[in-house]
């Protein structure tokens, strides 16, 4: 792709070849990272946003294309649309058309959009009549930038919005130059509208700056204020700048209407999130906006810190052609203005800078290529400076991001995968679940393949939901209630009390969270046959000091671990030593990767068991044992643990 760029017919210099090779090398390494780790589950940085995009894509693939597409983590009705689902549906088509893993398809499409940014970049460079060196330096900086190397291969819409925005800019420059005005105008409108409905925060600052440029250029060309008051100028301004905003507003109003049908969706409308999206003056004056967002993330990680800062400052005073000088100034504005328009979003989200750092990279490339690169003595300086910046970018990527990219997520190291595996194993196909303590993350729903209401602590009806979660499943059968710790505190007592009020529900601990599930199997006969079992009871003791009389029991058992045979169900037995009465409690099957590794059976599931038990009396001596259902028969295992309560 990069080697085919040829926007000027002048003879190639050796430095041009060097910069081209540098750009190609950076692109190939970025492509290697994107493709080599394309199958990584979207549990890396900002998994909240990645899995939200992934789950909307997953259900688009099941339900077909729809404007009110489902994001089934907020209860029924399931639709809370934000962006127009263009990126998601492209991922669906790629995944289904090539029978490709959805996660890999999502990451690859994201990187393809980043790679496609070469097209508008090359077009803009040709329009500005900049040197080959400047273009190749920019591409080297773009594809070596840690920001774009990392976020350009995530399951997110960022690069799609960026590509559409850059394409719109390229056609806007045609409009300014009076080239193919009708065609350029139509294409500008198409791409700026696509950018706005894909992710409004990316093109909105750009559209505002372009409107100012259009006004300034008109005044400069005509030398008269009357020109901007003419009907022609007003009509063109309405067409190019107001019409796209109108389309974006219509889309926002539509999504607000759909969200309002959902009890939590009403808290996600544009009006409800106005302060979150636009920020406050406190955000604009916050120290971390300058020290973290602007200095560390933008300049430090992607422009070699003080070296990049020096280049950008120097660009303000360079003696270069007016068009280049204007381009540098405008790029600096485009690079900085979004941070102050959406300060809170930039503070909270590290990926938001993908919308604006690209312009700072282009400004730096222009300074290097058009200042140093156009003077015989400066060529060596340009080579050194560009190489240092690329080297800095690669160092930062290796230091701050590569380990995360290389991480393989499994139920052994991921709480969400461990819980999702338990949900997948225990829920009926049409069952939904309710989760507390996970904000409104899509992770558990996405990886379990089940719809949910993941109740955030900011939900207006939070207390009602914890008291009666079944009311928030709608017409769907409630298959589970998941509780993790959140800002509302320790919720296990409430869920345990709720489950106790339901017939045949059990509560178990999985990876630090607690899951309430309906019991599935038959009761255990008192005449169950004894057996020598593989396994152990690893834990048998109090859950928490705030829950006296409740114990947690965890362990594992296999019928034949070497052959990968596991029991159908496990039961925890509880014997009261005072009256010798024994009661059996169905346990929840859990995934134990350590057991799988021990037996060399990586695909073996349900080897673990877990159960919370309320003791008959908060004080006394008990013996905990294990029984299991295998081959349709119940057998009792040989291992046991003593439990003392009330001491």
Q: Rounded to 5 degrees, what angle do the CA atoms 230, 234, 236 make?
A: 120
Transcribe 116-172 into DSSP letters: HTHHHHHHHHHHHT--HHHHHHHHHHHHH-HHHHHHTTSSSSHHHHHHHHHHHHHHH
**Sign of the Cα pseudo-torsion (199, 205, 207, 210, in order):** negative
- DSSP designation for 457: T
Residue from 32, 33, 1, 34 nearest 136 by CA: 1
Predicted pLDDT at 441 = 95
Phi, psi of 429 (to 5 degrees): -60, -40
Coil, strand or helix: which one is 255? Answer: helix
Write down the number of H helices and E strands in the chain.
Answer: 28, 14
CA distance 93 to 198: 17
Predicted pLDDT at 224 = 80
Instruction: Scan for tokens 């690169």, then name that residue.
Output: 373
Q: Give 624's strand partners.
A: 574, 641
Cβ–Cβ contacts within 10 Å for residue 32, how many?
A: 10
Predicted pLDDT at 213 = 95
Predicted pLDDT at 486 = 66
Cβ neighbors of 4 (< 8 A, separation 6 or more) are none
Given a contact cutoff of 8 angstroms between Cβ atoms, the answer to whether 372 and 379 are in contact is: yes
Cβ neighbors of 387 (< 8 A, separation 6 or more) are 22
Predicted pLDDT at 545 = 83
Q: What is the CA radius of gyration of the chain?
A: 30
b or e along 167-182 (b: 16 or more beta carbons within 10 Å of the residue's beta carbon)?
Answer: bbbbbbbbbbeeeeee
What ranges make up the beta strands (E) of 491-619? 505-510, 513-518, 529-530, 534-542, 550-558, 569-576, 581-586, 588-590, 608-614
Predicted pLDDT at 227 = 79
Predicted pLDDT at 3 = 46
Given a contact cutoff of 8 angstroms between Cβ atoms, the answer to whether 508 and 612 are in contact is: yes
CA distance 573 to 606: 19
Output the six-digit token pair for 601. Answer: 């059976």
Helix (H) or strand (E) holding 432: strand 432-436
Mean pLDDT by 10 residues, the chain (647 residues): 51 88 98 98 97 98 96 96 97 97 98 98 96 96 98 98 98 91 95 98 98 92 82 91 97 98 96 97 97 98 97 91 94 98 98 98 95 71 95 98 97 93 92 94 97 95 93 94 80 86 89 91 69 94 88 95 93 92 92 92 90 89 93 89 83
């Amino acid at each position: 792709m990069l080697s085919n760029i040829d926007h000027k017919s002048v003879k190639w210099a050796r430095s041009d070849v060097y910069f081209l090779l540098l750009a190609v090398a950076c692109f190939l390494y970025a492509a290697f990272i994107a493709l080599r780790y394309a199958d990584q589950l979207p549990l890396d940085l900002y998994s909240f946003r990645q899995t939200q995009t992934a789950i909307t894509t997953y259900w688009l693939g099941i339900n077909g294309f729809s404007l009110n597409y489902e994001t089934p983590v907020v209860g029924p009705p399931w639709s809370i649309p934000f962006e127009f689902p263009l990126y998601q549906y492209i991922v669906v088509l790629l995944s289904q058309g090539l029978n490709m893993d959805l996660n890999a398809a999502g990451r690859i499409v994201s990187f393809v959009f980043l790679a496609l940014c070469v097209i508008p970049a090359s077009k803009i460079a040709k329009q500005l009549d900049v040197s080959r060196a400047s273009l190749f330096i920019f591409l080297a900086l773009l594809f070596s930038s840690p920001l774009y190397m990392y976020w350009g291969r995530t399951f997110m819409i960022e690069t799609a919005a960026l590509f559409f925005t850059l394409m719109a800019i390229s056609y806007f420059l045609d409009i300014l130059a009076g080239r193919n005005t009708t065609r350029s105008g139509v294409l500008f409108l198409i791409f700026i509208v696509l950018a706005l409905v894909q992710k409004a925060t990316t093109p909105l600052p750009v559209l505002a700056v372009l409107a100012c440029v259009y006004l300034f250029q008109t005044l400069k060309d005509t030398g008269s204020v009357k020109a901007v008051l003419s009907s022609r100028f007003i009509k063109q301004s309405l067409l190019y700048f107001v019409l796209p905003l109108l389309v974006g507003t219509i889309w926002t109003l539509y999504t607000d209407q759909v969200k309002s049908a959902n009890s939590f969706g009403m808290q996600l409308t544009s009006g409800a999130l106005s302060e979150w999206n636009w920020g406050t003056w406190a955000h604009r004056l916050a120290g971390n906006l300058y020290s973290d967002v602007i200095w560390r993330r933008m300049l430090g990680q992607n422009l070699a810190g003080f070296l990049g800062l020096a280049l950008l400052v120097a660009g303000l005073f360079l003696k270069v052609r007016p068009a280049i000088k204007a381009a540098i100034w405008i790029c600096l504005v485009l690079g900085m203005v979004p941070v102050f328009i959406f300060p809170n979003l930039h503070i909270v989200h590290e990926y938001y800078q993908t919308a604006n750092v690209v312009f700072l990279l282009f400004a730096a490339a222009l300074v290097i290529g058009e200042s140093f690169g156009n003077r015989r003595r400066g060529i060596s300086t340009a080579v050194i400076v560009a190489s240092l910046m690329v080297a800095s970018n690669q160092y930062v990527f290796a230091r701050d991001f590569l380990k995360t990219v290389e991480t393989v997520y499994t139920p052994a190291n991921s709480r969400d995968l461990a819980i999702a595996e338990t949900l997948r194993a225990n829920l009926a196909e049409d069952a939904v679940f309710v989760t507390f303590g996970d904000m409104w993350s899509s992770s558990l729903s996405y990886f379990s393949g089940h719809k949910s209401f993941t109740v955030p602590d900011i939900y207006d009806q939070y207390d009602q939901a914890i008291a009666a979660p079944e009311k928030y499943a709608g017409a769907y059968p409630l298959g589970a209630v998941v509780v993790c710790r959140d800002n509302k505190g320790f919720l296990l007592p409430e869920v345990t009390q709720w489950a106790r009020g339901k017939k045949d529900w059990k509560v178990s601990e999985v990876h630090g969270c607690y899951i309430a599930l309906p019991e599935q199997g038959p009761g255990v006969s008192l005449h169950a046959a004894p057996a020598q079992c593989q396994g152990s009871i690893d834990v048998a003791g109090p859950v928490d000091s705030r829950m006296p009389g409740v114990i947690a029991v965890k362990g594992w058992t296999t019928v034949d671990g070497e052959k990968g045979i596991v029991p159908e169900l496990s039961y925890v037995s509880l014997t009261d030593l005072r009256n010798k009465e024994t009661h059996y409690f169905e346990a929840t099957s859990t995934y134990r990767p350590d057991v799988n590794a021990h037996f060399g059976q990586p695909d073996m599931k349900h080897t673990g068991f877990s159960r919370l038990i309320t003791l008959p009396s908060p004080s006394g001596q008990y013996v905990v044992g294990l029984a299991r259902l295998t081959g349709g028969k119940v057998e009792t295992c040989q291992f046991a643990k003593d439990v003392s309560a009330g001491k």
